[in-house]
Structure 1
Amino acid sequence: MKAFDHRKYRAAPVINLPDRQWPNRTITRAPRWASVDLRDGNQALLEPMNVGQKRRLWALLVKLGFKEIEVGFPSASQPDYDFVRWLIEAKQIPDDVTLQVLVQAREDLILRTFDALKGAKRAIVHVYNSTSTVQRERVFGLDRDGIIKIASQGAAMVKREADKHPETEWTFEYSPESFSNTEVDFAVAVCEAVMDVWQPSAEKPCIINLPSTVESTTPNVYADQIEYFATRISRRDALILSVHTHNDRGCGVAAAELAVLAGADRVEGTLLGNGERTGNMDITTMAMNLYSQGVDPELDLSNPDEIIAVAQECTGIALHPRHPWFGELVYTAFSGSHQDAIRKCLHQQKEDEPWQVAYLPIDPKDLGRDYQAVIRVNSQSGKGGVAFVLERDYGLVLPRWLQVDLAQVVQKASEARSGEIDGASIHALFRQNFVVDQGAVALHGYQIRHEGGHDVVEATISENGAQRQLHGEGEGALSAFIDALMRFSGRQINVVDYSEHAIGAGTDAEAAAYVQLNINGQRYSGAGFDHDTVSASLKAVLSALNRACSIAGEAMAA
């Protein structure tokens, strides 16, 4: 363990702030949110997003209610430049949404940035330079005056170029990069110099963004830095104080929350915390934290399955099952005592009273989820080994989420019989409830072709005996079929999870497919079987859809 020596590190300096006020405050309203998914989040990916992924993520961010979205670094990346031009020229920016772009304090990059923004109705130009001690001394070899000069010159160039385009409503943003590792009095001095150039006012404020570029201390120290800055900077009413935290110590959300208590007006972050190293501050987590305290987050997070699906498709990063609020296992209790407490609280919970349920900080239904009480069983349990029995006797390897749904069906049947249920009965219940591809809606045939970089499906289905022709497009047969069903049914359908395996071996092996869909905010599971894997997956989708229609008592084309 000689290489693991804590003595090579030193504690970050604390701030002398004996009159600090933030510990006595509470957050009573949401901050201004700014998404940096398409810039900070994108630059952290092993494979940066393609055009289609950027467009889909942009659409999601707008749908969720973000009003300020940083979309890229157009001066440093041709794809970012092209994406900015597409947003402007294709008129993809709603009137209440402001485009934000990042640029270093360098003239050639600033010129390129304004060229990318030509024709924008409204834009935030976010300029930055590094100010920390280690950057000054070991990267740039400059003293404090040299760093202030870079910042002032960058601010002047931004103002000069903006003045050439009065048709655009400009907002200027400045970040002293690595603020949290900068002497706080020097950070104030640098920002004062920038504001001297921009001359902001209460009617036309600038944004001063104070990033914890690398989280290196506890959140309370960062809060002290923010309060020190907020109470020492001049023209406080002429600036919007913004923060941008990272998660190197696992405290990105906590640091942002304490920063808001300390005076921050605005918070930059990403969906689900994507970003460099351990990630950016997770806006979904902070927003849900506010929601759980009775504060309107001013973002629509009611369909987390859609957020997870789009984020995963665009970033290639799967969500951890224990992720705060949105993780797959968040509303599942394995402990018998927890299950008992939750059941008792739910039985007493009234609709017109504040939420008070043990072990559940919010009502899962707010996020389209259900409370799942699952007792883990194994091959030695003797009772309730539903998944074990199906795998042992029928070769069915059910994914966990389908085990949950089936266990509830089996439990009800067991209670009705007042005794044990054998393997054949469990299998019959499984097929009766989850293999319903020949229900009200059935698949009669389909064709798939690849054109224009995506798949096109033409399918023939019957609904209560009447045949219908469906058309859909997507990346893969499953995605195209889902698109076809959404067009026909008018429902919003997202794939939450999918699993498949072979039953048996050789040429006679059958494919088993399992799918969990989010249909209009509710989850439904289905299974399908066929000797062809694609057919099995499409049948699984129809099983889930038939199950949803049966539970809701509706026809598919609602």
Structure 2
Amino acid sequence: MDNNRVIIFDTTLRDGEQSPGASMNLEEKVKIALVLEEMGVDVIEAGFPIASNGDFEAVNAVARRVKTATIAGLARATKGDIERCHQAVRDAPRHRIHTFLSTSPLHMKYKLQMEPEAVLQKVKDSVSFARTLVDDVEWSAEDGSRTEHDFLCRCVEAAIDAGARTINIPDTVGYAVPDEYAALIAMLVNRVPNIDKAILSVHCHNDLGLAVANSLAAVAAGARQIECTVNGLGERAGNAAMEEIVMSLRTRPDRMPFTTGIKTEQITRASRLVSAVTGFVVQPNKAIVGKNAFAHESGIHQDGVLKCAQTYEIMTPESVGLTRSNLVMGKHSGRAAFRDKLKHLGYDLADSAVEDAFVRFKDLADRKKDIFDEDIVALIDEAVYRENDRIRFHGLEVLCGTRHNPPKAELDLEIDGVVRNVKATGDGPVDATFNAIKALVPHEARLLLYQVHAVTQGTDAQAEVTVRLEEDGKTVNGQGADTDTMVASARAYVNALNKLLVKRQKTAPAALTA
């Protein structure tokens, strides 16, 4: 392996899915995995197979579909977890067991309730057992950045002796700062005698906004694998954002002479897909993939960019797959133009999905004069990535305003293939609509967030609604888009309920890793 080559380990499907509100079904995980494979991700951590039968099946489905990337599954340091992980990933041409154990004094005392020597022995036993099942074993020292150096060195040396090919040092709680984290990696390189037999990896969380900076500092100190997620998705404040890491290395080879195998032109496509599947909207000022990342409103900036793009752009929009098409879309546009637009936007859909989306597009074009790229993105997200939902929106009529008190809503939903109708009232049109949904789909989930924003400008703009529901400690986000805000609201609530059904089937085990 080229010593300057950095392995990209993407954990969007595992750590990313642990984000409160994010959930992915089997088909969605496979779609994301195939996009990650196509863009050149080296290792895809597909999930936590022991968590549930659904997660096991999803990891196994990814393992059977992906051909070039290594498929990893996560396992705690127990025989049952490791065996289940092996069963899930073994169908992949390249597969890995990723097992972990806490090593910091805080975690050992309060979480594991184990003495250091017992932890060290468990490291040896778990890695040795995993090594009997697969050649490629990764071991992680959970809360590694807060682990005593002497003990961390002993654990790392023992894991390598037991057969681990990759050693991951997570900054599990996002506590480290770049120079400190780099010094930790350098210390392991200098003190662990068998460190040359393994690849050092890092997994940084963004609690202090330093996940990417810490990851890059670690690479400069000797790490050669970075664990990251698309859009920085992950628990709490998220993980190191894959797109930021990759573009930092590509943009600043003068200071960081390292390479990856990522086809950066597919970054925007991956970002949009993950956002659509999880319902997590990318903030406008997000680096690399945010809506404003390549926008210039200041007159001085606009003047500079027009004269020479490099005055204010350190990378091109095209380098991350952001292209602008001059193709104007409207109600007279045909399938060929629509398919070409989808290609420009980074979508590669099956014929049936294109046809479904085209029908929705024509309906939108009848109601909206100007169709912007953002409209089509919202339409695709709404129409395509929900094909396996058990609950489907069919129709809504709302009566509200000063002449209708209380507001009334009549709703049609398809539930497990059967269309049902109900009428309900509420304190307002949104309340009436949501009460109608509750009447057809009884549940105890609480509404934590209701948010509306316009996809584009104009009074005929599509409204994109985000709904967050909570049930028994599980939170989900739902999204819906339509030129009618009430219809968008209903779609968002139904989307959230479908995700809640998926969440109910997943009961993640305790002691999740970084």
Same topology, TM > 0.5: yes
1:288 corresponding residue in structure 2: 247
User: CA 1:328 to 1:30, structure 2 compared with 1: closer, same or farther past 3 Å?
Assistant: farther
Which protein shows a greater Rg? 1
Residue aligning to 1:18? none
Superposed CA deviations along residues 45-100 of structure 1, whole A, max 9, x for unmatched, are 42421122111111111111112111111122211211233344xx4121x32111
Q: Which residue of 2 aligns with 1:8?
A: none
- Equivalent position of 2:231 in the other structure: 272
* SS of residue matched to 2:99: strand
For 2:224 and 2:231, locate their aligned partners in 1 and report how far apart those are by CA, in whole Å.
21
Please, which of 40, 55, 74 is the counterpart of residue 30 of structure 2? 55
Report the counterpart of residue 179 of structure 2 in structure 1: 220
Contact map agreement 2:30 2:65 (CA 8 A) in 1: no
1:434-472 residue CA offsets vs partner (Å, 9 max, x unmatched): 575336x499xxxxxxxxxxxxxxx9xxxxxxxxxxx95
Work out which of the residue numbers 359, 377, 393 in structure 2 matches 1:496.
377
In the alignment, is the contact (CA less than 8 A) between 1:244 and 1:268 conserved in 2? yes
Q: Distance in 1 between matches of 2:260 and 2:33?
A: 19
Mean CA deviation greater in 137-146 or 296-305: 296-305
Matched, 1:92 2:65: yes
Distance 1:364 1:237 in 2: 39
Choose between structure 1 and 2 for higher RCO, CA contacts under 8 A separated by at least 6 residues.
2
For 2:156 and 2:110, locate their aligned partners in 1 and report how far apart those are by CA, in whole Å.
22
Query: What CA distance in whole angstroms lies between the structure 1 residues aligned with 2:107 and 2:20?
Result: 24
Alignment of 1:374-385 (within 5 A): none
**Which amino acid counterpart does residue 236 of structure 2 have in structure 1?**
R
- Residue 542 of structure 1 corresponds to which residue in structure 2? none
1:323 aligns with 2:286: yes
What is the aligned partner in structure 2 of residue 312 from structure 1?
A: 275
TM-score, normalised by the number of residues in structure 2? 0.64
Secondary structure of the corresponding residue to residue 37 of structure 1: coil
Q: Which amino acid aligns with 1:233?
A: V
Inter-partner Cα distance in structure 1 for 2:170 and 2:15: 12
Distance, in Å, in 2 between the alignment partners of 1:34 and 1:266 is 7
Correspondence for 1:116: 88
What is the SS of the residue equivalent to 1:129?
Answer: strand
CA contact (8 A) 1:331 1:370 kept: no
Deviation of 1:283 after TM superposition, in Å, equals: 0.9
Specify the SS of the correspondent of 2:136: strand
User: Residue 75 of structure 1: which of 38, 50, 54 is its match?
Assistant: 50
1:367 to 309, 314, 320: 320
Match 1:358 to one of 268, 290, 311? 311
Unaligned runs of 5+ in 2: 339-349, 363-372, 383-399, 402-458, 464-481, 489-514
**2:11 equivalent among 36, 39, 45:** 36
**Cα distance per residue 1:482-504 (max 9 Å; x no partner):** 79xxxxxxxx999335699xxxx
Give the superposition deviation at 1:340.
2.1
1:123-522 matches, cutoff 5 A: 123-160=95-132, 162=133, 170-198=135-163, 206-294=165-253, 296-346=259-309, 357-369=310-322, 436-438=330-332, 441=334, 473-474=352-353, 477-478=356-357, 495-497=376-378, 512=460
The aligned amino acid for 1:257 is L
Q: Secondary structure at the match of 2:15?
A: helix
Quick one: distance in 1 between partners of 2:90 and 2:152?
A: 32
1:257 match: secondary structure: helix
Alignment check: 8 A CA contact 1:219 1:254 kept: yes
Shift of 1:173: 0.8
* Cα distance in 1, alignment partners of residues 462 and 172 from structure 2: 42
Unaligned 5+ segments in structure 1 are 1-26, 163-168, 201-205, 347-356, 372-401, 406-432, 444-458, 460-470, 484-491, 516-527, 535-558
Quote how far apart the aligned CAs of 1:240 are: 0.8
Q: Is the 2:9–2:42 contact (alpha carbons within 8 Å) kept by the matching residues of 1?
A: yes
Shift of 1:28: 9.5
Instruction: Assess, with a 3 A threshold, how the Cα gap between structure 1 residues 296 and 228 changes in structure 2: closer, same or farther.
Output: closer
Find the aligned partners of 1:285 and 1:102 in 2 and give their Cα distance: 24
**Aligned-partner Cα distance in 1 for 2:212–2:335:** 47
Distance 1:472 1:119 in 2: 28
Q: Partners in 2 of 1:230 and 1:292 — Cα distance?
A: 27
CA distance in 1: counterparts of 2:267 and 2:376, whole angstroms: 12
Partner SS state of residue 50, structure 2: coil
Q: Equivalents in 2 of 1:316, 1:476: separation in Å?
A: 23
Aligned pairs for 1:518-533 (under 5 A) are none
The count of residues paired between Structure 1 and Structure 2 equals 366
Describe the shift of the 1:274–1:111 C-alpha distance in structure 2 as closer, same or farther (beyond 3 A): same
Deviation at 1:364, TM superposition (A): 2.5
Aligned residues of 2:176 and 2:214 also touching (Cα < 8 A): no
Instruction: Name the CA distance, whole Å, in 1 between partners of 2:321 and 2:91.
Output: 40
The alignment-based identity, stated in percent, is 27
Question: Contact between 2:185 and 2:223, CA under 8 Å: does it hold in 1?
Answer: yes
**Stretch deviating more after TM superposition (132-141 or 320-329):** 132-141
Post-superposition offset of 1:260? 0.1
Q: Counterparts of 1:214 and 1:476 in 2: how far apart (Å)?
A: 45
Query: How far has the Cα of 1:514 moved from its partner?
Result: 6.6
- CA distance in structure 2 between the aligned counterparts of 1:142 and 1:366, rounded to whole angstroms: 49
Cα distance, 1:315 vs. partner?
1.4
Q: CA RMSD in A?
A: 3.7
